[in-house]
């Protein structure tokens, strides 16, 4: 049983193919300055807890939409990869036709990714910035584990086609030149799907 921030149904073309349901988990390994889901870090910042079977019962209502559109479940957060045992159990129970996507920062121990690898069809990876000093100032953590995990994923056949790396412009933390350096590095290691966008500055920053 794990804490869940929320479940959002009928999402289209925003976080995975077809019609998707976003399942947002509580908890994260980072402390990002402009966190979009800051409640994931608060002890009481979740709406409920659920077992894999309970979550499956809840989302099965949209099974026909998933089958008709090639959609399925997107795991978000927080950092969903730290809930790899839950996701593994859930995916084993779910219909095999469902498409599974994860939104992750990859800053987790690799055994979580090993557990998820047989199930996840598509990865949306928010890389923050590849400059270690910028990354540390923005997230409070080191980014070496993120880079190691990205290389580990790319070591699997066909994985580059299944990865979208999000490279944000972060107000007060990186510059356009920093973003371009991140892009150049990602392209050099075989990443072809890069989503460049801008974070919004939090009002209290």
**Range name among 42-46, 143-147, 149-153, 197-201 with the lowest pLDDT average:** 197-201
Instruction: Say whether 165 sits in a helix, a strand or coil.
Output: strand
- The answer on pLDDT for 192 being more than 70 is yes
Higher pLDDT, 83 or 13: 83
33 alpha carbon, distance to own chain's centre: 17
> What's the pTM value of the predicted model, to 2 decimals?
0.95
Q: What is the pLDDT of residue 204?
A: 54
- The answer on pLDDT for 19 being more than 90 is yes
- The answer on pLDDT for 59 being more than 60 is yes
Cα-based distances in Å from 75 to 102, 121, 142, 179: 5, 12, 23, 26
Mean pLDDT for the stretch of residues 160-182: 97
Tokens standing for residue 109: 């121990």
Question: Structural domain boundaries of the chain?
Answer: 2-198
Number of Cβ atoms within 10 Å of the Cβ of 176: 9
Mean pLDDT for the stretch of residues 74-97: 98
**pLDDT tens track for 115-142:** 999 999 999 999 999 999 999 999 999 9
The Cα–Cα gap between 103 and 22 comes to 10
Structural domain 2-198, CATH architecture: Alpha-Beta Barrel (3.20)
């Amino acid at each position: 049983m794990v804490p869940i921030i929320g479940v959002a149904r009928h999402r289209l073309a925003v976080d995975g193919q077809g019609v998707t349901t976003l399942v947002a988990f509580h908890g994260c390994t980072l402390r990002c300055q402009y966190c979009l889901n800051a409640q994931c870090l608060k002890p009481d910042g979740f709406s409920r807890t659920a077992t894999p079977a309970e979550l499956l019962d809840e989302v099965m209502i949209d099974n026909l939409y998933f089958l008709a559109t090639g959609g399925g479940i997107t795991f978000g957060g927080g950092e969903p990869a730290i809930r790899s045992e839950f996701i593994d159990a859930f995916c084993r129970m779910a219909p095999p036709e469902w498409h599974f996507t994860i939104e992750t920062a990859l800053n987790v121990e690799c055994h979580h990714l090993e557990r998820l690898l047989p199930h996840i069809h598509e990865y949306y990876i928010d890389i923050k910035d590849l400059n270690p000093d910028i990354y540390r100032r923005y997230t409070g953590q080191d980014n070496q584990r993120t880079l190691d995990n990205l290389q580990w994923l790319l070591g699997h056949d066909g994985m580059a086609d299944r990865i979208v790396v999000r490279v944000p412009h972060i107000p007060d933390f990186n510059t356009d030149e920093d973003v371009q350096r991140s892009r150049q590095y990602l392209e050099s290691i075989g990443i072809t799907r890069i989503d460049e966008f801008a974070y919004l500055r939090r009002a209290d920053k």
